Structure 1
Amino acid sequence: MRALVHDPAAPAGLRLADTEPPVATDAQALVDVQAVSLNFGELAYLDQQRRPGEVPGCDAAGIVVRQAADGSGPPVGTRVVSFDFRGGWAELRAVDTADLAVVPESVDFGAASALPAAGVTALQALRRLGPVDDRRVLITGASGGVGRFAVQLAALGGAHVIASVGSPARGEGLDELGAAEVVVGLGSVTEPVFGLLDNVGGRQLAEGFALLGDGGVALSIGQASREPTTIDFERERVRGSDKRLEPFIVRQPFGPDLTHLIDLLAESRLDPQIGWRSSWDRASEAADALLRRRVAGKAVLDIGSTTTQVMHSP
């Protein structure tokens, strides 16, 4: 089969190659992949997380061509979207039936493929915050994949969403997704917030943590800045507010959360925010654009497609 494999010498560390097809366990379905999506984190840390020749990829949508041997999961011919931590960027994927969801005919495979890593991360992180109705929630890195889903889901939950971005251009359209405020950096945010979903790390995480009010929660989701974070906890003790900071980790099984997101997508209550879409033979170009912040939202690749549709945002 054909797959995108990690090649440290290739542009963006990715190369299309012939590989052995996956061997499914009894609890796994075999999926004929139609579309995949890329995530900033898995590209930024590709060298650290993947061996040369390994097939990366969290997000893939397609059609079941072999049902799980234990009888779990959907039958052959079912349209599905899947979330796992490797093996997604290939023509065939073996995936646990607990980590996939059925995709209705009304939902495009590309849109479905945008949901898994970014959408499930945003959903689980918001759940970790607790009820957000009528509460101020600050989302940093709001123009990225996780950020755009978090803005929408927090707004659906009734939150007053403050979306922080790196430039005015990166913030375009976030108000339409439900952000009550769109800010560049955090200098203009002066009122306390209840929750912080941080996708940037570094100095911005420290600044966001300082903005938490009493009982507030900060979740460190990503480190797009690739910078470590230093927090003056003595200053926080002097302030006397009760707050907490946690590293966020997404948890399996993913199937129920994927199903919820697919339902929202089918009901037009969630927008996949696809900022780039093309055939997977342009994967390196898409990855480079994503890493250079030239894609707002998700980058989607159609497997085996000869058509090309590119949507750039600054």
Structure 2
Amino acid sequence: MEPGHTLILNHTTLTLDPGPFFLLGIPGLEAAYAWLSVPVCLLYLASVIGNSLLLALVAADPALQAPMYQLLGLLAAADLVLSTATVPKALTVLWGFSGEISFGACLTQLFFAHVAFVAESSVLLTMALDRYLAICRPLHYGTLLTPRVVGAAGVIALARGTCVMTPPVVLLQQLPYCGKRAIPHTYCEHMGVARLSCGDTRVNIWYGLATTLLSPVLDAVLITISYAFILHAVFRLPSKGARHKALSTCGAHASVIFLFYIPALFSFLVHRFGRHTVPGHVHILLANLYVVIPPALNPIVYGVRTRCIAERILRLLAPSRVGVRRE
């Protein structure tokens, strides 16, 4: 049956072209929408400005072509896509404008948001490997992590996200819909859309669970292992100042990584196991955290705290000032 065709079964109209959906926002917190929109809007603006600036610096400055800075550029690009795919529509809902979104636009939004999430997870894993090599294998760093390797990592991250998210979009297009069009969320998610179907969604559920375990969960485990090796090497440093500096940097990185993975994994797993135990507004609020907070913090934690990038930003803001405090 082709999209747009309908089937009459037990007096219920099933269709593969359900028409527009309606994003309800955060049911139960409607009175707080105006207040909630303020931090969301500010964080989104910080994300766009910070990541655009970081990406422009890395792309334009010949001195920032080392693998570490190229990885920062990849992270900034993923953050821009992740936040821009979700936050503008979420703000229209919170500001009381139309929550209507077409079926095609909904699938496009969830595709780009999830691809960006998987790609960013891959980049964070590569960055953890970069730090591991720099601290634990410094003699091999220059030969193992070259600009060419970073370019290949970027292509793999994008291909991985695309391969992971293409099957769910195809599955959603093939599901029959019975007229339910209200999505209790601020943006479209894979299982949020699948729940509107009156067909069999077991394939969607198990595919989503498998990709969650094999993508972000696996990446998070590998990142944790790499940082365990890094911390082991840091504690063996003879200088107390060097240990403090390394621990401060690792702590900042770990905090942003936790803010990225924990709300995202919580959201993915609640769709499958906790829909009747976790309050809906808690689920939706946490699902919004990983699309606004990490993209806003990453340019600061990974960018401004890096000496070379901090110097260039300072020159843009205050050309007459020379030097900048090191990390």
Common topology (TM > 0.5) = no
Rg: which structure is higher?
Answer: 2
More helix by share: 2
More strand by share: 1
Select the structure with the greater relative contact order (CA < 8 A; seq sep ≥ 6): 2
TM-score by length of 2: 0.21
TM-score by length of 1: 0.21
